[in-house]
Amino acid sequence: MMNIKRQSGIGLVEIMVSMVIALFLLLGIGTIFITTRSTYGDQQGLSNLQDNERLAMFMLTNVIQIGGYFPDPLTTTAAASLPGSGTYPANPYPLNGQAVSGTEGGAAPDTVRARFVTASGDGIGSCNGGANTSGANVLVDNVFDISGNTLRCAVNGANPQPLVTGVSDMQVLYGVDTTGSGSATQYFTAALVPNWNNVKSVRITLTFQNPLAGQAANPFTFTKIVPVMNKI
């Protein structure tokens, strides 16, 4: 009598065990992918934050430290070169010879203003990168503010131009020489500055939005003290 061999296959239990193992493997791979993607996004966000911080501080520093400059000190004075009549209505109107000023925003960001004079072709640029090629000396009035989480700057009363995004706040203090020593001895808010022509430096604190996932409530702040070149 011939023996008949029965074919044996994979049972239902084995199939279910295999499926569970496969699901665990897929879950692990998916978790690794999501974590890697999140880490990359955080690293990219922090890199962009650092770039924005450097760019914002560079622009503010480059403009503010030139405040009060005028190209012909042998033939004129700061008061004559930087008149206080105020062609551009960025409150408050400046004093004769005044290099920097600003306004307090209260709950809103502050503004900061820097004025200087450029000679045609001297390569000194405004906050929006424009250079003087007019053939004559030009008074450049730069006003920085924050709007819509963007650092902006207006030149000579024109519409503000966006400079750096992700900036939610700007607080400004002014270092004033209160003793006649030639150096800043005390810092004041804009409303309390006793004499704008005695401002020797500007302390700027910028607040940036946190790019890390779930960390919007923990912004980053950066502070820098900028000397006013023509007031040192």
pLDDT per position as a tens digit, 57-87: 999 999 999 999 999 888 888 888 888 765 5
Q: How large is the C-alpha radius of gyration of the chain?
A: 30
Distance CA 140, CA 127 (A): 9
Whether residue 192 lies inside any domain: the answer is: yes
Long-range contacts of 187-193 (CB under 8 A, 24+ apart): 189/104, 190/101, 190/102, 190/103, 190/104, 190/110, 191/104
Q: What would the two tokens of residue 125 be?
A: 């640029």
Does residue 29 lie within any of the structural domains? no
Q: Provide the 8-state DSSP code for 74.
A: T
Q: Is the dihedral of CA 88, 93, 97, 101 positive or negative?
A: negative
Domain assignment present for 38 = no
Q: Please count the residues of the chain.
A: 232
Asked whether residue 19 is domain-assigned, the answer is: no
pTM of the prediction? 0.78
Range of the domain at 172: 44-231
Task: Give the separation between CA 52 and CA 149, rounded to whole angstroms.
Answer: 12
Domains identified in the chain, total number: 1
Residue with tokens 């600003």: 102
- Domain membership flag for residue 177: yes
Task: With cut-offs at 50, 70 and 90, classify the pLDDT of residue 89.
Answer: very low
28 domain-assigned:
no
